[in-house]
DNA sequence: GGAAGTCAAGTCTCG
DNA sequence: CGAGACTTGACTTCC
């Protein structure tokens, strides 16, 4: 089992998401930001290795505005040395890297232009992982999108688009249950028709469990991961106390964390992304080693 | 020079 | 039907 966190290291103050606003996005600025993001990514991976954290989500702004026409950089060529070095380091230490495009990346929109832009964002994320030389266990996590008042039709559009994606994108795509529209059972329905693996998020599940018994859902979710996909990935977070449901807490609640760890481990090996606002500081707070919380094999 | 307002994108909910 | 939430640092404008 590997463990990790997304995008930003609070402990080192480094982030893979240095960005700018569109108006200020000159090639020089975009180049400088990308260089800084890659340098920070390199340092974050070094820092993570020292702590034994082998999972990391790269921020979608690592190459700012990469899927937008304003970015005309040939970033694969310009940063080939940095990308090669980062990829070699990650592979040498058996790290697993990922992307998680945000709320604006919607593959099932009725608007073809929105779908086209979503595919552009996925294509850029895949191109970045390709440039690092990472295998297909390194994934791009997305949600299923909106419902538009007609869930079956919306899910049908997702399946249609996902199955016609070119192979270099589809083999990296994985789908996650969300807190509002699509529960694990919906993601499984899509997975059966697309072959896409399913990421299980405990906090989204709490807000939107949908039909099915939890252990049955987990068994089916874990089974969606084939050998080429690597071991299943799960997202863990605790509810922020006193905040609206679905808000991530600063830290993981240790008892809840242990309970989910034990439950997931019944279905086989897996990797865990801790989505806490304190990021790696939240992982450190679970020290000396969260893996010792697992029952002995 | 510090505070406040604004910033690519989509969808849903609330008033 | 329009505003706000989602999330957040960076940039611009205003005082």
Which residues, in sequence order, are bridge partners of residue A239? A248
Which residues, in sequence order, are bridge partners of residue A80? none
Query: What pLDDT score was predicted for residue A240?
Result: 87
Per-residue pLDDT, averaged over A22-30, amounts to 92
A247 or A158, which is more confident?
A158
Per-residue pLDDT, averaged over A163-186, amounts to 96
Spacing of A237 CA from B15 C1' in Å: 31
Query: What pLDDT score was predicted for residue A246?
Result: 83
Q: Does the structure show a pLDDT above 80 at A113?
A: yes
Spacing of A68 CA from B10 C1' in Å: 16
Helix (H, G, I), strand (E, B) or coil at A45: helix
Question: How far apart, in Å, are the Cα atoms of A130 and each of A83, A126, A260?
Answer: 10, 6, 33
Cβ neighbours of residue A29 under 8 Å, at least 6 residues apart? A20
Query: What pLDDT score was predicted for residue A132?
Result: 98
**pTM for the whole thing?**
0.96
Spacing of A137 CA from C8 C1' in Å: 29
Q: Does the structure show a pLDDT above 90 at A288?
A: no
Q: Does the structure show a pLDDT above 90 at A297?
A: no
Evaluate whether A9 touches A46 at the Cβ level (below 8 Å).
no
Question: How far apart, in Å, are the Cα atoms of A38 and each of A31, A48, A60, A75, A246?
Answer: 11, 15, 12, 11, 31
Which backbone phi and psi does A203 adopt, to 5 degrees? -75, -40
Helix (H) or strand (E) holding A55: strand A55-57
Evaluate whether A37 touches A3 at the Cβ level (below 8 Å).
no
Summary mean pLDDT of chain A? 94
Cβ neighbours of residue A267 under 8 Å, at least 6 residues apart? A218, A219, A222, A232
Q: Does the structure show a pLDDT above 90 at A217?
A: yes
Q: Using CA atoms of A103, A238, A178, A111 in order, give the dihedral in degrees to the nearest 10.
A: -10
The residue length of chain A stands at 297
Query: Residue A108 — very low, low, confident or very high, per pLDDT cuts 50/70/90?
Result: very high
Please write the tens of the pLDDT for every residue from A118-162: 999 999 999 999 999 999 999 999 999 999 999 999 999 999 999
Cβ neighbours of residue A46 under 8 Å, at least 6 residues apart? A89
Query: What pLDDT score was predicted for residue A293?
Result: 60
Helix (H, G, I), strand (E, B) or coil at A209: coil
Q: Which nucleotide lies closest to A19 by the C1' atom and the CA atom?
A: C10
Spacing of A281 CA from C15 C1' in Å: 38
- Check if residue A186 sits with its Cβ under 7 angstroms from strand B: no
Please write the tens of the pLDDT for every residue from A51-62: 999 999 999 999
Which residues, in sequence order, are bridge partners of residue A142? A175
- Check if residue A146 sits with its Cβ under 7 angstroms from strand B: yes
A213: exposed, middle or buried (C-beta count within 10 Å: 0-12, 13-18, 19+)?
Answer: exposed
Residues 119-138 of A with CB under 7 A from strand B: 121
The domain made up of A3-289 has a fold known as TIM Barrel (3.20.20)
Q: Could you write out the DSSP letters of every residue in A136-177?
A: TTS-EEEE----TT-HHHHHHHHHHHHHHS-HHHHTTEEEE-
């Amino acid at each position: 089992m590997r463990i990790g966190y997304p995008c930003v290291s609070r402990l080192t103050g480094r982030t893979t998401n240095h960005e700018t606003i569109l108006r200020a996005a000159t090639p020089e600025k975009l180049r400088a930001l990308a260089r800084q993001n890659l340098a920070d990514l390199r340092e974050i991976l070094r820092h993570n290795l020292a702590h034994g954290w082998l999972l990391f989500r790269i921020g979608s702004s690592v190459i700012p505005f990469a899927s937008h026409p304003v970015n005309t950089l040939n970033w694969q060529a310009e940063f080939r040395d940095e990308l090669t070095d980062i990829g070699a380091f990650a592979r040498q230490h058996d790290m697993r890297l990922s992307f998680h495009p945000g709320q604006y990346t919607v593959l099932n929109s009725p608007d073809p232009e929105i779908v086209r832009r979503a595919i552009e964002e996925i294509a850029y994320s895949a191109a970045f992982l390709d440039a690092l030389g990472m295998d297909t266990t390194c994934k791009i996590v997305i949600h299923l999108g909106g419902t538009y008042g007609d869930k079956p039709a919306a899910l049908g559009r997702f399946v249609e688009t996902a199955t016609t994606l070119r192979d270099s994108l589809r083999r990296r795509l994985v789908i996650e249950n969300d807190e509002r529209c699509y529960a694990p059972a919906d993601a499984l329905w899509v997975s059966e028709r697309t072959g896409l693996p399913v990421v299980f998020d405990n906090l989204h599940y709490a807000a939107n469990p949908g039909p099915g018994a939890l252990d049955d859902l987990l068994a089916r979710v874990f089974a969606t991961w084939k050998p080429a996909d690597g071991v299943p990935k799960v997202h863990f977070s605790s509810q922020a106390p006193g905040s609206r449901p679905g808000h991530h807490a600063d830290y993981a609640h240790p008892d809840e964390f242990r309970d989910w760890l034990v439950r997931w481990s019944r279905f086989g090996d897996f990797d865990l992304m801790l989505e806490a606002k304190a990021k790696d500081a939240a992982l450190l707070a679970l020290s000396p080693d969260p893996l010792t919380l697992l029952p002995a094999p």
